Chain A
Amino acid sequence: MANDESWLDRFVNKLHKKPKPWFKYFGAYILVPIWARLTPVKRLPGGARPAIQPGDNVQSMMNLIMPLKRENRSPIGRAKAALAIAENRDQIFAGLDNVGTVHFARFVIVNDNICMFSFYDGDFTNYIRDFIATIGGAFNDVVKLVEGGDALIPCEENVEAFIQWIHEHDLYQVPDTPTDFLRDQEDLNGDKAVSPVNDDLTLLPRKLVLQLRANANVSLGSGYRAYPGFSVAQVRKKLELGW
């Protein structure tokens, strides 16, 4: 920033702010694995956090990433996934209507993953239980295309296993604040802080990098909501949309 920099200062600053490809490669493929080995990081669980406050129990996010089976990782496999959703569209939408606590839901194909993103009210387990009970066999056509899905078929008869499987494929939701992210790590790994606390906030970047190595796909923050705090039932009632 100042103009009394030596060539070495300039070189190092550039390394940091505009790294050359070789340094990016060195960081990604050498430094990060070394630190991952020295300071192992566990995978953080996915899904919305359990909460007792009313506002935290409406408009929760589910970000379900289901990797397609190896034999389906091709345009043909992705077309099969698209077809499985299209053919069962009426059943899926009717099921979501019957669940009654879902604000929005959509299916997306990203690379070789079929994803379901939704906003729902209430408890996650009840949502999935109601979902699979009302959709019945329609979801089997989707699940049979994805890794680990065969063990769940028929889904409507393997409800608990299905709920667990969905939970495992639901993305970790990075908290809205960086310090809550640290607290998530401490909760998972056991807080090793001595009393008095003597943390090192400068390690936050490394902790984030290593966590994103363990959880390659994450949801960033709790998301934006134009009208937070209202359930499907409240919105429908207020807008006189009936039930």
Chain B
Amino acid sequence: MVDASVARRLVDEMIFNLPKHDPGQRPVHTIGVGVDAYFTASDVAHKYCIAEHFSGERICAKVRFSNAPGGPEQHDGRSDVRGMATRFLLPSGAATDLIATTLREFFARDVDDFSKFTKLDKHEPYQRESPWRKILDLLWLKVPRRDPYPGEKTNASAGILSYANQHRFAQLAVFEAKMIGAPVSYVRAAYHAIHTFIVEGENGVRRPVRFSWQPVAGVRNTDPDALPDDDYLRQELDHRLKRWPVRFVLMMTIGEAGDAIDDPTRPWPARRVRVIMGTLTLTGVPKDQATAGERISFNPWRLVRGIEPSGDPILRARRDAYEVSRKMRGGTACPFSNWSCADGE
């Protein structure tokens, strides 16, 4: 179990790096939108996982989409990671969460890595590169640094790049984050739960798995050369859902012996067996956003019988860090279960 003081330190370090922070809000993924939804498992899902939401019954769900950065500033159109946190409200009265982002891998293997990362992940002044420097980059067959977005005075890209250059395990996540772009809609992006979980099937077989949400509408980003719009994702989702529901397919990839079970920095080969576990249907953006998303305290460790966490140290750290963060911002503990920080073991 991660020491509570370590979890507190992790959250403090993240908050320390923010240019602005409202103590009543999430320290990361601050800007977001809550959506009503329901989940229907596929015909085969219960064979692979006996968890209640894979029984085939229609399951109510709450989804919160978010922009990864912390702080009150909203920049929807900037290239960055997005989040999709889903709470399944189970008929038994329990609840379980699945937290995913558009990043396929994480940049830290454990708490120490994460701590070192946050020390470099600091905002520094960010200016337009001189044209002469850009010409030099082109002559070196490098891609010139992107120009600052309008109003962008600082960012953490230099520190993150420096961290990746020194830590090969972080390079994939950092590279992908740099190339990630901005989605035209929260529902035009694929989301990955990053960590490995252990699921138990009907026949008692336990399998290491990783989950991903695949958008039925397809993946599409905005034009990276166009001026970014700071505020469009929520309205786009609202307008879209007023016209028709939106669906995501839950894909479960089954790992094999030798795959990185406890290391979220390492992807699994694309040639692993994938199972379609079900379909999530988004139905509307409720007016009461506090209840729909802002007050919900998601936690990747909120699991039910049939799904267990792997030994991934980052997953373990997130359990406590999310709980610390919830308490710091005065968030509501999950009303659907008796789960608490201490129950995780």
Contact = CB atoms under 8 A, between A and B. Distances in A.
A2 B150 contact: yes
Given A31-B141, A221-B270, A2 B147 contact: yes
A201 B166 contact: no
Contacts, number: 122
B149 interface: yes
A8 B131 contact: yes
Interface string A164-207: 00000000000011110010000000000000111111111110
A9 B128 contact: yes
B270 A11 contact: no
Nearest to B133: A12
B250 to A, nearest CB: 17
B16 interface: no
Nearest to A222: B270
Interface string B181-222: 000000000000000000000000000000000000000000
A63 interface: no
A16 interface: yes
A201 B174 contact: yes
B244 interface: no
B165 to A, nearest CB: 5
Contact of B141 (A5, A54, A205): A205
B165 A198 contact: yes
Interface in A45-79: 52-56, 58-59
B175 interface: yes
A121 B269 CA distance: 16
B345 to A, nearest CB: 31
A55 B225 CA distance: 40
B8 interface: no
Contact of B271 (A6, A11, A203, A229): A229
A1 B150 contact: yes
A83 to B, nearest CB: 36
B267 to A, nearest CB: 6
Contacts of B144: 12, 16
B150 A197 contact: no
B236 interface: no
A15 interface: yes
Nearest to A57: B271
Given A58-B271, A201-B165, A209 B141 contact: yes
B134 interface: yes
A207 B144 CA distance: 15
Interface residues of A, number: 50
A93 interface: no
Given A197-B168, A206-B140, A53 B258 contact: yes
A11 B138 CA distance: 13
A12 B143 CA distance: 12
A225 B271 contact: yes
Interface in B89-133: 128, 131
B142 A228 contact: no
Interface string A209-225: 11000000000011101
Given A1-B147, A205-B141, A206-B142, A53 B131 contact: no
B149 A1 contact: yes
B131 A6 contact: yes
A52 B258 contact: yes
A32 interface: yes
A13 B142 CA distance: 13
A17 interface: yes
A196 B170 CA distance: 14
Ranked 7 nearest A-B pairs via Cβ: A229-B273, A206-B141, A12-B131, A8-B131, A179-B172, A1-B147, A179-B171
Given A12-B144, A16-B134, A176-B269, 12 more contacts: A2-B147, A2-B149, A6-B131, A12-B131, A17-B225, A35-B141, A55-B269, A59-B271, A199-B168, A201-B161, A203-B140, A228-B270
28 contacts: A1-B147, A1-B225, A1-B227, A2-B149, A2-B150, A12-B135, A12-B138, A27-B141, A31-B139, A35-B141, A53-B256, A53-B259, A55-B272, A56-B269, A58-B271, A176-B267, A176-B269, A198-B165, A199-B164, A199-B166, A199-B168, A199-B171, A205-B142, A205-B143, A209-B141, A221-B270, A222-B269, A227-B273
